[in-house]
Amino acid sequence: MKYKSFADLSDDIYANIQKIPASVDLIVGIPRSGLMAGNLIANTLNLPIIDLDGFINNREIKYGETHKTIINYPKEANHVLIVDDTIDSGRSLNNAKDDIHTSSITQLMTYCTVYAHPRTLGKIDIHMKELSTPRAFEWNIMHNSKLSSFCVNIDGVLCMNPTAEEKATSNAYIDYLKNAKPLLLPTLKVGYLVTNRIEKYRKETESWLGEHNIQYGELHMMNASVTENNDYAHYKAHIFKMYPKSSLFIESNSKQARLIANLTGKPVLCTCNQKLYIPKLSLAKLLVTFREYYYRTNRMFNKIVVRIKAQSKKLFK
Amino acid sequence: MEYRSFADLSQAINLNLHKIPTDVDLIVGVPRSGLLAGNMIALLLNIPLIDLDSYTNNDRLRQSHDMSIAYAKEAKHVLIVDDTCYSGKSMGHANSLIKGASFNHKITSCVIYINPKSIKLVDIYFETLESPGCQEWNFMHRDKVGQFCVDIDGVLCKDPTKQEDDDGIAYLNFLKNATPLYLPSHKVGCLVTGRLEKYRKETEEWLKRYNIRYHKLHMLDLPNAKIRWNLNAAPRFKAEIYKSYPHSRLFVESDQKEAMEISMLSEKEVLCFSNQRLVKRQLLGRIKYKFGKYYNRSKKKLRKIR
């Protein structure tokens, strides 16, 4: 699984900005995520940007107050760069191509995507980076059809974490459960919701989820006995392991995310720092823990070697 | 100086997403950088996005996902997004445009980075910034760049590869045909480069070709590249020039290690371009750097004595 956040997108664009021809004087973004990538390119190169509809309808280009005007209408541009974020099947790019062809625009056109699957490279002129599947992006992770196989945490991902005051008394906590502020709400069905809330708050949680139209396959909540040990990560890892087809866990806490990844051997996405914790780390962790033993055994081995040498010297004298 | 990169912007949005009312169903971006912030929010919340002009013209929304609203007018609650707000001028302009359109739905204005003075002008803000500062998406295109010192290799043009950096024919070829990276749209304060003085003609020609205006071009006055490499003269030279301009507030450097050294030596802030971080004046780092120098020197002396 490869994950790209907004920060990665801007980094990858920066690293490969020289791939864009110098003669480009207008950037067209395919809404919405293509517009995002196009905006980043336009801001670094200080070129005007317009969305696809505006380009086809020849709408006037607007600039911010601090940017100098270069061209006023899309028709004045000589070389147009059409940007999308990814190319997978090529459908959205083909739609854009068809729309442009039917509107009889005759300028020089270059098609560019930031991420491209190796097998679709022939369909576009420029790509910034190759990216094979499985992959996920910060901008569509909650609105993706793959969400039906993911495990998602509730507190910190779907809604705000409770503050210390809200946790203090049971009345305040129930109040929080009823009126929690939503953060990232999925538009499609979520596979499994895994939360460290206790089983006795199931009613409140389910009513909150219904209120915000969140569809889900199953809701796993903790038993009261497990909570006493504060072993949240182990519990989540246990549930995550139960579903072998589930390929990603979305967690808000970075420490727990790392632990879950190490315990299950599957990738875990942390939303607070937009990092994907990949289970390769478990090997590194093993090395760290065993290095100490390695040094100890090495020392012992050396001692034994020295002793044997001394003994053998004595013998051969 | 406050510096914000795209990564900072996306983090600020991620942390403050709960401030946005849940019934918002259309986001309007104020061109150009407000459109960028609005785009991030729209993607995270899966809400349609439109720019200010199409909104006032009540254009049809074109979206890849199945959305409930087709025209801007049908929205019930609109969020107007801009990235920064200092005097409130551009936000006021946007507000007057919106009033002119006179749609009857609820409107909320939202700004990511705001000056504490103009908090009252907007409904939602994400972060307060005391001074105007710089943002990754516009700092090369504001007139403030007239106060900056900017490196050439790695910022304005691509770094030479190992084969090109031979101090001979290949290098001359590189100087003539270097691929441009980030070209400033205003007059730059001064260009400070580790290139040697003997290549001034080629460098000036290249700068002229790409319409880069500057007050002064400082080049390293050494006979050849090998001496420069042996002396590690580039960061010291850059720091010296940077220090000699007390009004210059930022040095833009491409290499991470060199940026560290320049900030230590000049005791001023340096922006590292490759990882988009501001290297601030740090006391501990400076002590370490100076201590390291003495440590190396004393080590050499000890070796001699032995």
User: Is the minimum CB–CB distance between A73 and chain B shorter than 8 Å?
Assistant: no
Which amino acid appears at position A177 of this protein?
L
Q: Cα separation of B56 and B71, whole Å? A: 11
Q: How confident is the model at residue A81 (pLDDT cuts 50, 70, 90)?
A: very high
Chain A interface, best mutation among B20, B35, B134, B139, by max A CB count within 10 A:
B35
Query: B22 and A182 in contact by Cβ < 8 A?
Result: yes
**Residue A210 exposed, middle or buried by CB count within 10 Å (0-12, 13-18, 19+):** exposed
Please say if the pLDDT value at position A193 is more than 90: yes
The span from the CA of B41 to the CA of B10, in Å, is 9
Indicate the helix (H) or strand (E) that contains A38: helix A33-45
Can you give the pLDDT at residue A64? 62
- Smallest CA-to-CA distance from B24 within B128, B124, B127, B114 is with B124
CB pairs under 8 A between A and B: 137
- Most B CBs within 10 A among A26, A30, A35, hence the mutation to make, goes to A35
Q: Which residues of B touch A36 (CB under 8 A)?
A: 36, 39-40, 43
C-alpha distances in Å from residue A156, one per residue of A151, A316, B53, B241:
14, 73, 36, 48
Q: Between chains, do A274 and B14 touch, taking CB under 8 Å as contact?
A: yes
- Say which residues have a Cβ less than 8 Å from residue B260's Cβ, sequence separation at least 6: B270, B272, B279, B285
Question: Using an 8 Å Cβ cutoff, are A86 and A66 in contact?
Answer: no
Residue B205's pLDDT is what?
92
d(C-alpha B15, C-alpha A273), whole Å: 10
Distance from CA of B174 to the nearest CA of A (A): 15
Q: Is it the case that residue B2 has pLDDT exceeding 60?
A: yes
ipTM of the complex in this document: 0.72
Cα–Cα distances in Å, from B95 out to B30, B114, B121? Answer: 10, 17, 10
> Which among B22, B65, B182 has the least Cβ separation from residue A143?
B65
| A42/B32 touch (CB, cutoff 8 Å), yes or no | yes
pLDDT at B104: 80
Minimum distance, in Å, between the CA of residue A42 and any CA atom of chain B: 9
Q: How many CA atoms lie within 13 A of B288 on its CB side?
A: 8
Q: Name the DSSP letter for residue B166.
A: S
Smallest Cα distance from A31 to chain B, Å: 6
For residue B42, pLDDT over 60 is answered with yes
DSSP single-letter state for residue B159: P
Contact call for residues B279 and B271 (beta carbons, < 8 A): yes
Q: Which one of A43, A72, A91 would you mutate to disrupt binding with B, by most B Cβ within 10 Å of its Cβ?
A: A43
State pTM to two decimals. 0.77
Among A3, A6, A89, A179, the strongest candidate for a mutation testing the B interface, having the largest count of B CBs within 10 A, is A6
Residue in chain A nearest B276 by alpha carbon: A11
Q: Does A32 touch chain B (CB under 8 A)?
A: yes
In tens, the pLDDT along A147-185 reads 888 999 998 889 888 888 888 888 898 999 988 888 888
The confidence score (pLDDT) of residue A291 equals 66
Residue that the structure tokens 């210059």 belong to? B248
Binary contact (B185, A7; C-beta < 8 A): no
Whether A250 contacts A151, CB under 8 Å: yes
B46 vs A14, A62, A187: nearest CB: A187
Best CA proximity match to B150, nearest among B283, B241, B15:
B241
Q: Structure tokens of B241?
A: 């020039």
Buried b (16+ CB within 10 A) or exposed e, A129-145: bebeeeebbbbbbbbee
Q: pLDDT, tens digit, for every residue of A48-68?
A: 888 888 888 888 887 665 556
In percent, how much of chain B has pLDDT > 90?
8
Tokens of B54: 């199409």
Nearest to A36 among B39, B46, B90 (CB): B39
Identity of the amino acid at A180: A
Question: Is any Cβ of chain B less than 8 angstroms from the Cβ of A143?
Answer: yes
Residue pair A117/A132 in contact (Cβ under 8 Å)? The answer is yes
Sheet with strand B106-114: strands edge to edge: B49-51, B26-29, B77-85, B106-114, B124-128
For A178, residues 6+ apart whose C-beta sits below 8 A from its C-beta are: A204, A207, A208
* Per-residue pLDDT tens over the stretch B125-179: 998 887 767 888 777 877 788 888 999 988 888 888 888 888 788 888 888 888 8
| A138 shares contact with chain B (CB less than 8 Å) | yes
Whether residue B9 lies within 8 A of chain A, CB to CB, comes out as: yes
Q: How far is B68 from chain A (nearest CA, A)?
A: 13
Judge: A36–B5 Cβ closer than 8 Å, yes or no.
no
Which phi and psi angles does B142 have, rounded to 5°? -115, 160
Query: CB-based contact (8 Å) between B213 and chain A?
Result: no
Chain B, window 96-135: residues with a beta carbon less than 8 angstroms from a chain A beta carbon: none
Q: Is B17 on the interface with A (CB under 8 A)?
A: yes
- Of the candidates A6, A53, A59, which has its C-beta nearest B40's C-beta? A6
Task: Write out A122-174 in H/E/C secondary structure.
Answer: HHCCEEEEECCCCEEECCCHHHCHHHHHCEECCECCCECCCCHHHHHCHHHHH
Question: Tokens representing B30?
Answer: 């104020």
Q: What is the pLDDT of residues B178-197, one digit of tens each?
A: 888 888 888 888 999 988 88
In one-letter notation, the amino acid at residue B215 is H
